[in-house]
Amino acid sequence: MIMAPISSDLLHCINHDEWTSAIVAASLQVMCQIVTAAGNTAEALRREISGNCTAMRTMQIILDCEDCGEELCVLAIKILTQLDMENRESFICKLLAIFTANKDSHIRGLAGEKLATLSVESEHNAKIILNKNDDFVRRLTEVLLQDESNECRITAAWILESLCIRHYTDEDDECVKRLKEIMIDVMPKVLREVLHYGPNTKEAAEDTGLSTQASCESCDLEKGQRGDDSQDSIRNYYTSAEPGDVHCNDGQLQAELLSFSVMVFDKLIDADPNLPQKVVAIAPQDSVFSLARKLKEMVERYRLSAHPPVDCLRMLKLTTKIVIAIMKSIDWHWDEDMESLKISLSKALEKMSDFDGLMIISSAGRDHGVVEKRSDVTLGSLIKEAFVLLDKIKSRKLEIVPVIALSRET
């Protein structure tokens, strides 16, 4: 009886009358509560709904129908995501089409959220996205780089990360090879934005595929030194940045872009020997805009930030991972910017070490006293690894200087 308005396709038979829309909406609302409930009874009801072919077909029609309205589409997506479907591929393709349509709406955000969930929970679901061809992956990267909605950009990063993490070991899969090629092409463009390189011109925007935005060189670090930790001061800090300053206006977006860059370095650095050169190419070759200086500015930004400590800690960990990844992949030469980077990392560790320890204790409490023994869970362990790499670079310089001096004397 609950499914009757859906299984009979009342909505389209009566041509979207007001009373039919209300009845169908009520039916979908109850079905949504059923499929998201826990317990054996709910599981049995999910199987019954999944077995009703006419009801499943009607919900698919709702997603394709321009007259059904957003509320009905949202409910249909929530229900279908929870059910076993014979034609899962068709549903995922529909979600992809909605999410990459670049039209701001609640249904678009929900479609992206469900896509991320489906791609993580099942390798089969992730394969559907990859195996269609590279068009869907390309469209996801367009959302990641160009979309006006930060929420959709974050979701696109989640989906792409899940695809790479699940499939980067399938070396012989042509779809995976194509995925790697696209991710390696995209990562320097993401890192360019992360490091505040712009783009500031139309030509730069066309070259990187990013929207033109103001440079963030003048981001005011003084705001991060205020002693007031009230919610008002934090809210003021979020809203006081210059236009285009994604780092200050949207911390979550910045975190996801950093996480995406770290993932590409970790998983795909061996897939393209030219990736280090592509990373170096994002930075103008002069001391003012060196990679080391940009990374140092990022460390200082989060060290002095008025954001909640848990957010700053996460951003500092991700930034340090980027430092490590770049130093491992690029043949750097020691200079004063690298010395400043090392000093900034040391100050960040001094400020955050106590809070980092508190977070470990808190995590242990949630895990019933069991702390995972992972070398990369603390900021201290990450900075220690970065210092080892920095010291190696510095020692190479010290070894080269006497050789040069002896050559000149000769």
pLDDT digits (tens, 9 = 90+) for 238-268: 333 333 333 334 678 888 898 888 888 877 7
Domain that holds residue 141: 91-167
- Element holding 117 (H helix, E strand): helix 106-121
- State what percent of residues in the chain have pLDDT above 70: 71
> Which residue would you say has higher pLDDT here, 35 or 131?
35
Decide if 375 is inside a domain: no
Based on the fold, state whether residues 82 and 2 are members of the same structural domain.
yes
In the prediction, which pLDDT does 270 show? Answer: 61
- Closest to 281 in 3D by CA, of 330, 324, 209, 212: 330
Contact 256, 158 (CB under 8 A): yes
Decide if 372 is inside a domain: no
Decide if 326 is inside a domain: no
Contact 181, 268 (CB under 8 A): no
Based on the fold, state whether residues 78 and 107 are members of the same structural domain.
no
Report the alpha-carbon distance of residue 161 to residue 183 in Å, rounded: 9
Report the alpha-carbon distance of residue 181 to residue 259 in Å, rounded: 19
Based on the fold, state whether residues 79 and 95 are members of the same structural domain.
no
DSSP code for 153: H
Instruction: Give the torsion sign (CA, 311, 313, 319, 325).
Output: negative
Q: Which of 167, 186, 205 is a domain's end point?
A: 167
- Closest to 399 in 3D by CA, of 323, 326, 334: 334
Based on the fold, state whether residues 60 and 116 are members of the same structural domain.
no
Decide if 161 is inside a domain: yes
Instruction: Give the torsion sign (CA, 189, 190, 194, 200).
Output: positive
Burial category of 352 from C-beta neighbours within 10 Å (exposed 0-12, middle 13-18, buried 19 and up) = buried
In the prediction, which pLDDT does 19 show? Answer: 87
For the chain, state the CA radius of gyration. 25
Instruction: Give this prediction's pTM.
Output: 0.72
Report the alpha-carbon distance of residue 7 to residue 9 in Å, rounded: 5
Q: Which of 86, 104, 128 is a domain's end point?
A: 86
- Into how many domains does the chain fold? 2
Flag the least confident range among 60-64, 69-73, 133-137, 203-207.
Answer: 203-207
Q: Which of 53, 86, 119 is a domain's end point?
A: 86
Decide if 320 is inside a domain: no
Based on the fold, state whether residues 55 and 13 are members of the same structural domain.
yes
Decide if 339 is inside a domain: no
Q: What is the DSSP string of 357-408?
A: HHHHHHHHHHTTTPPP--TTSSHHHHHHHHHHHHHHHHHHHHHHHHHHHHHH
Q: pLDDT averaged over the chain?
A: 75
Decide if 405 is inside a domain: no
Q: What six digits make up the tokens of 344?
A: 């900034």
pLDDT digits (tens, 9 = 90+) for 35-77: 999 989 889 999 999 989 899 999 999 988 888 888 899 999 9
Q: What six digits make up the tokens of 332?
A: 């750097």
Based on the fold, state whether residues 1 and 36 are members of the same structural domain.
yes
Tell me if the bond preceding 199 is cis, omega within 30° of 0: yes
Decide if 180 is inside a domain: no
